[in-house]
Structure 1
Amino acid sequence: MKTLRIAALAALLGATALAAPAHADVKIGLLGGISGPIAAMAPAMIDSANLAISQVNEAGGILDGRRLIGVVGDSACNPQNATDAATKAVNLEGVIAIVGPHCSGAVLAAANSVTIPAGITIVTPSGTSPEITSLQDNDTVFRTVPSDDYQGRALARTLLERGTNKVAVAYLNNDYGKGLAEAFRAEFEEKGGEIAGFAAHEGERASYRSNLADLAAGGADTLVILDYGDGSGLTMLRQALENGFFENFVGGDGMKSDAPIRELGADNLTTFIASAPVGQQSDALEVFNKAFSDIGGDPNAIFVTTSYDATFMLALAIEKAGADKSKVAAALREISNGEGEPILPGEWAKAKELIAAGTAIDYRGAAGEHNFDEAGDVPGAYALFKVSGSTFEVIAEME
């Protein structure tokens, strides 16, 4: 009887397997800084990625009508967390590609430890360290945001053009902070500016007053903080204001966070400005802005355009590659190289039809056209922002 029961169970399981769908869902990882120093930024970035996924599924699905699934993991802007999240996404969830991680150190760790050995393509929407450019990645690491080598230099030139000729620089001692700071210093000094203080600091300390006092001793009235506005950058900004160490404050993109406004109040941030990448004005950006606004998103939130583009582009690449992970990277280059039928955000049905017909397409993204160079990098546009009420508004474009 036991043998019969086992045989019957085996037959039932075999029938169930035969009755199951022939093709499983297609999974991509969404590895974000859900906790940690950019926790306030991450939700909007994940939301914009999910907008792209929902557009794919609502317009016929991916490949032969399968659902595209975003598997969310928390990289926490921490190398170990990122490695763990990437390992889970690749080895347990079976993702075919990854959007993220969000922070530079997390990108470097996850790529070196997990995705490069596994041959998984990743597109980070916000990992900006120049170190990412030099990864030996077998052409599997891309980004839809420009390197901080561009941002640091653009910020330096913009400050000099605005009459700020002497600054002190405080930067977080990680891949993001160091890369941005070195690019800023090189350009600022080359163009005739004076760096009155230049120092790294460790994250998540209770007090930075001694650091600030040392930086202020150089006589600059402007402090450039290259850190995260949800973490130690906020603490440093608060303590600088409380103790009157500096009169003016400048942040990079990591400081363009809602957290300083919520915690310190807009009235106390009238001399605070920050730089950040922006989407280039285009029909594609207008299409995205409307679609994201329609689901309750803020199109002006940082990195939402780059997050959306990274996700939609990977979907296009997977459609072209036929779910073959070894072909995704090459397909990613082919769907956005300046040649072919233009595809705007949300135009999934059109793109799917053209890909099926063997027609070349060229994705025109919300954040730009994303024609990748040999290292998987893209050019970009930046702007300088000031605090306005509960948010930020552009005060100048940065060349």
Structure 2
Amino acid sequence: MKTKFLALAAGLLTATALASAPAKADVKIGLIGGVSGPIAAMAPAMIDSAQLAISQVNEQGGLMGGEKLEGVVGDSACNPQGGTDAATKAVNIEGVSAVVGPHCSGAVLAASASVTVPAGITLVTPSGTSPEITGIADNDTVFRTVPSDDYQGRALARTLIEQGYGKVAVAYINNDYGTGLANAFKAEFEDKGGEIAGFAAHEDGKASYRSNLADLASGGADTLVIFDYGDGTGLTVLRQALENGFFEKFVGGDGMKSDAPIKELGAENLTTFVASSPVGEKSDSLDMFNEAFKAVGGDPDAIFATTSYDAAFMLALALEKAGGDKAAVPTALRAISNGEGEPIRPGEWKKAKELIAAGTAIDYKGAAGDHNFDENGDVPGTYALFKVGGEGFEVITEMK
């Protein structure tokens, strides 16, 4: 009887110990994208590339003590209210430790101000490009893996001058993205000797922009620069400009580098259309990402695929270095990508995890380039000018 009692007691103690041992909980990061709205066609590749980073982490040991990393997808609809709502759900209901996104600048500005900054949650946008993001009072919690539109706008202006575009009209969507990009472009284009023959904002979602286009064309420019979204209003503007013969040549910012204009209007009608877009610097890191993304059915050339991947992988590295402490993520994010330490490339999670555990400094070399954040959480970048070719967009020249 005594033996049976002791055995029973030991069993109860073991069961109690097992019950009191904390279960490993998944670590969540938000993937807040423009799943619906004007960049809906771009969002899937961006989310898929971030999910690739998450799967690599989990396949190579997970975070910290083996916790799984989980991406929680939310839809910002590419607007401020949608961004706020999606961030609120991710932070307050899902309990995410960090956020990749939102994808659109207005959503970034709103979500950070209303949700992530007050909550102390680190946000890394892979595609929010408005210059306004630089000045957010964020307590060092807002970062981006894509350059500011101040850089893109000025680089595009310089490139067009070099390509012989001396006189242009500019149509831009009246939001944070369009306004920031258009103003940067205008300032640089005029500074380099170009002439802006028309410069006007337009509202989203109208059925017709013919009167806007007629006004812009009255200045005598043969080229229309469109800062808008190729899956939304920008497509309508481009179609109506072509149908009515208002302009002969067309230039788009990165929001216009979408498959939608090609599918809707036909490549044969876009022989004079070019667009700017960020590109990954040629490197071993880019090759490694390209191979891995292709292997899971992704398109490495999709816009913002590299920056989305990098944002997710870097947040995982920062969470690992911070030991899961949300408040320590910003400092850790800067530490894992500052130009010093053992190089870590896309997919090298096991290597990074071992080095971090050993207290060895690491330096992430991203698919989109080196992300050495400045004091505002901004990064330098590389852009190219594209034309429409037989198999989609083809690079014409790098933009500097």
TM-score range (shorter-chain normalised) is: over 0.9
Q: Which amino acid letter does the alignment assign opposite residue 386 of structure 2?
A: F
Aligned equivalents of 1:33 and 1:390: distance in 2? Answer: 25
Aligned equivalents of 1:109 and 1:294: distance in 2? Answer: 36
Matched, 1:90 2:63: no
Aligned equivalents of 1:176 and 1:85: distance in 2? Answer: 19
Q: Which amino acid letter does the alignment assign opposite residue 293 of structure 1?
A: K
Question: For residues 159-209 of structure 1, what are the alpha-carbon distances to aligned partners after superposition, in whole Å with 9 as ceiling and x for unaligned?
Answer: 000110000000000000000000000000001000000000001110000
Contact 2:24–2:66 (CA<8 Å) still a contact in 1?
no
Counterpart of 1:117? 118
Classify the secondary structure of the residue corresponding to 1:117.
helix
Alignment of 1:324-339 (within 5 A): 324-339=325-340
Alignment of 1:58-137 (within 5 A): 58-137=59-138
% identity of equivalent residues? 79
Q: CA deviation at 1:17?
A: 9.3
Counterpart of 1:368? 369
Contact 1:34–1:74 (CA<8 Å) still a contact in 2?
yes
Aligned equivalents of 1:175 and 1:52: distance in 2? Answer: 29
Aligned equivalents of 2:105 and 2:70: distance in 1? Answer: 24
Structure 1 stretch displaced more, 386-395 or 27-36: 386-395
Alignment of 1:170-319 (within 5 A): 170-319=171-320
Counterpart of 1:6? none
Counterpart of 1:52? 53
Classify the secondary structure of the residue corresponding to 1:196.
strand
Classify the secondary structure of the residue corresponding to 1:72.
strand
Aligned equivalents of 1:162 and 1:325: distance in 2? Answer: 47
Counterpart of 2:12? none
Contact 1:266–1:390 (CA<8 Å) still a contact in 2?
no
Classify the secondary structure of the residue corresponding to 1:199.
strand
Question: For residues 286-320 of structure 1, what are the alpha-carbon distances to aligned partners after superposition, in whole Å with 9 as ceiling and x for unaligned?
Answer: 00010011111111110000000000000000000
Counterpart of 1:3? none
Q: Which runs of 4+ in 1 moved over 4 A?
A: 14-17
Aligned equivalents of 1:288 and 1:90: distance in 2? Answer: 29
Alignment of 1:377-392 (within 5 A): 377-392=378-393
Q: CA deviation at 1:18?
A: 2.1
Question: For residues 312-364 of structure 1, what are the alpha-carbon distances to aligned partners after superposition, in whole Å with 9 as ceiling and x for unaligned?
Answer: 00000000001111000000000000000000000000000000000000000
Aligned equivalents of 2:265 and 2:204: distance in 1? Answer: 19
Counterpart of 2:40? 39
Aligned equivalents of 2:108 and 2:369: distance in 1? Answer: 22
Classify the secondary structure of the residue corresponding to 1:73.
strand
Aligned equivalents of 2:41 and 2:48: distance in 1? Answer: 13
Q: CA deviation at 1:22?
A: 2.2
How many residues matched?
387
Counterpart of 1:345? 346
Aligned equivalents of 1:272 and 1:20: distance in 2? Answer: 62
Matched, 1:159 2:194: no
Counterpart of 1:8? none
Specify every segment of 5 or more residues in structure 2 that has no aligned partner in the other structure, as ranges: 1-14
Q: CA distance change for structure 1 residues 15 and 242 in 2, over 3 Å: closer, same or farther?
A: farther
Counterpart of 2:30? 29
Q: CA deviation at 1:23?
A: 2.3
Q: Which amino acid letter does the alignment assign opposite residue 226 of structure 1?
A: F
Contact 2:239–2:265 (CA<8 Å) still a contact in 1?
yes
Q: CA deviation at 1:145?
A: 0.1
Aligned equivalents of 1:200 and 1:20: distance in 2? Answer: 60
Classify the secondary structure of the residue corresponding to 2:255.
helix
Aligned equivalents of 2:399 and 2:81: distance in 1? Answer: 35
Specify every segment of 5 or more residues in structure 1 that has no aligned partner in the other structure, as ranges: 1-13
Q: Which amino acid letter does the alignment assign opposite residue 52 of structure 1?
A: A
Question: For residues 90-111 of structure 1, what are the alpha-carbon distances to aligned partners after superposition, in whole Å with 9 as ceiling and x for unaligned?
Answer: 0000000000000000000000
Q: Which amino acid letter does the alignment assign opposite residue 191 of structure 1?
A: K
Aligned equivalents of 2:352 and 2:390: distance in 1? Answer: 40
Classify the secondary structure of the residue corresponding to 1:364.
strand
Matched, 1:148 2:149: yes
Contact 1:170–1:199 (CA<8 Å) still a contact in 2?
yes
Question: For residues 232-281 of structure 1, what are the alpha-carbon distances to aligned partners after superposition, in whole Å with 9 as ceiling and x for unaligned?
Answer: 00000000000000000000000000110111110111000000000000
Q: Which amino acid letter does the alignment assign opposite residue 363 of structure 1?
A: Y
Q: CA distance change for structure 1 residues 16 and 235 in 2, over 3 Å: closer, same or farther?
A: farther
Q: CA deviation at 1:20?
A: 7.5
Output the TM-score relative to the length of structure 1: 0.95
Q: Which amino acid letter does the alignment assign opposite residue 259 of structure 1?
A: A
Aligned equivalents of 2:208 and 2:392: distance in 1? Answer: 27
Aligned equivalents of 1:50 and 1:155: distance in 2? Answer: 31
Question: For residues 111-164 of structure 1, what are the alpha-carbon distances to aligned partners after superposition, in whole Å with 9 as ceiling and x for unaligned?
Answer: 000000000000000000000000000000000000000000000000000110
Aligned equivalents of 2:389 and 2:301: distance in 1? Answer: 13
